[in-house]
Every structure is written in structure tokens, then in C-alpha cells.
Amino acid sequence: MKRDGFPSALYRAQMGVVWPIISAHSSEMAKRLQSDLVGISAFVATVEAGSFTAAAERVGLSKSAVGKSVARLEDHLGTRLLERTTRALSPTTEGQAYYEVCVRVLADLNEAEAQLASARLEVSGRLRISLPVTFGRLWVMPVLLRLAHDHPRLVLDVSFTDRRVDLVEEGFDLVVRLGEPGDQAMLTGRRLGTQRAMVCAAPAYIAARGAPSEISDLIHHDCVGFARDGASIRWVLPDGDGALSSVRLASGHIVSDGEALREAVASGLGLGYVHTWLAAESIRSGRLVPVLSGTSFEGAPITALWPRSQSPGPKIRVALDALVAALLPTPPWDVGFI
């Protein structure tokens, strides 16, 4: 099954952008350039999919046609691009370098096509997007709903998970990720902002136990920790000199859900290190009170990612633009806190 933007956009780019140029030259040159472009698309798909069979499904050709296209490309270049074993295909050193160049070429062709088409194409089709559960529901889904109303032919297919999905393998067009995006050689990203957090407590807790005035005071307080994959996450806070310190909390309550953490702190169970995108409404209403001088601490990024081998076509582009407009330069939850 073909993915939007690849390889169909490449073929349209060949005919709409490249072909008028090469048609002025000899038909032999035209055939050579067309063959090279098909070979490049087959090669990129093979590297990303790991086999001719999977690549064939991706580009809409037969396994034999994909293999022959890559072989002709290797003959033309005079070098071996793929290591062939009985189990898988992987790029050679030269093949990896060539792959990185090819990805940029395909992205440039798709970008050229997208720019030419943007003025005349209505945003349509299915947008498969993966979102973090709580952040996605609170802050991204409202943006997508407005987008769907503005573009009636756009169909949303939204998945919510805190698992780090594989966009290429699982067929997502777009993902919003909290935290470092990691080494994603096959993905392109756009920064949507930075998470910030505050150490907070309920008014009743402060009335009973007082509020810490510096980091060293935390050891004398009950704290509600957040757990990921069964391990409690340390609080990373700046000390008096601005250097970051990793704070080991005294043993206490631990939860593994953001909204449950917020509610546990609001109930007076202890201090909590809560992201402002989750705690802002409770802070404004007085259910939570920032401590440690009310300082908000800058944390990990918020990033939108899409497959590197395709340009952000109209449906991805409008989603990115809507998210940027909603979250930058200052996200709505941080207004008044920074």
C-alpha cells in the first residue's frame, strides 16, 4: 500500500517538475534520468524497509522490479550499495552515505511538488497521528478538532499512547513526542515548545507542614513521585548557582499517571513535581501552590515528527502550522508562569 507523498509524489515530481526540463534533451538522457529516479526511490524504500519484499509493498512495484531497479542503480554507480544476506538487506558504507543524499533529494522533490500543489489542492485524506495520552487529549486534540472543522475532507485517525511508536513501521503520518526525540535518522522534526515544571503543594499541606524554601529542604517533606517503566523519576532542579541537581526523593507515594499525580498532590498527600501543561489550571484556581519561590524549571522538548523520506504534504503541513500557531511562542498553559 502506498504512503501519501512517497513514491507517488516522486513520480508526479518527475512528470511535473523534472520531465519538462529533460524533454528538451535527448530521449536517451530522459530514459536514464527516469530510470535513476525510480532506482533511487526503490533503493531508499529498501534501506528503510530492510527487504525487497517490504520495499515492493511500499512503492507499489513487484519484488523483482525493486531488486532490478536497485541492481541497475548499482551498475550505473559502479559500486555495491546493499549487503545481501539470507535474512536481511543493509546498506554498505557507501550505500549509507548515498542513502542520506537520496533522502534529501526525494525530500527536495516532494517539497517542490508540495509548493506547486499547495495553492490548488484542498486538504484531504486520512491523517494518522499518534499523541501522548494526557498531553494529547488536553492540548493537541482541541487543535485537531478545529482543523477538522476547517477542512471537511480531512479525516482524523488519532491514536493515544505513551509508548514511543515507530512512525515508519506503524504507518503514522505524524507524531507529537514529549521528551528528547532521540536519534531518529529516518524522521524530520519540528520543535513545538519546551516542557516546564513546578514543585507544587496543596494549601492544606503547606498550612500543616510549611513550604520548602530551597532544594535541601525537600528531604524533610513528603513527596509524591512519578514512575515510568516501574522506576521513580528523579527531580532535576537548579541549585543556587543555577547548576542542575538530580534530587533523590525520600520514600513516599509513587504514581505512574500525570493526572493522578496532580490529584494526589492537590489532595494534600505531599509535594509534587508537576508539568505546567498539566498543573496550570489547578495553580490558577488555587488548588495547587508553587513552592521554591514559585520558579518554573525548563525541561524536555515537545516535538512533532514525520517520516524524513517524505515532505510534509498538505494534510501534515496544515496540522504542523496549526500546532505551531497554538503552542508558540508561549504555550497557553505557561502564560503568567514565565
All domains of the chain in start order, with CATH: 8-118 (1.10.10.10), 125-192+300-333 (3.40.190.10), 195-298 (3.40.190.10)
For residue 29, pLDDT over 60 is answered with no
Per-residue model confidence as pLDDT tens digits over 33-69: 677 788 898 999 999 888 888 888 888 889 899 999 9
Evaluate whether 199 touches 226 at the Cβ level (below 8 Å): no
Segment 139-145 long-range contacts (CB within 8 Å, at least 24 positions apart): 139/277, 139/326, 139/327, 139/331, 139/332, 139/333, 140/176, 140/323, 143/322, 143/323, 143/326, 144/319, 144/322
Most confident of 1-10, 34-43, 126-135, 183-192: 126-135
For residue 13, pLDDT over 60 is answered with no
What's the rounded mean pLDDT across residues 69-75? 90
For residue 290, pLDDT over 60 is answered with yes
Per-residue model confidence as pLDDT tens digits over 96-130: 999 999 988 888 887 777 666 654 567 889 999 99
pLDDT number for residue 228? 78
Mean pLDDT of the chain: 83
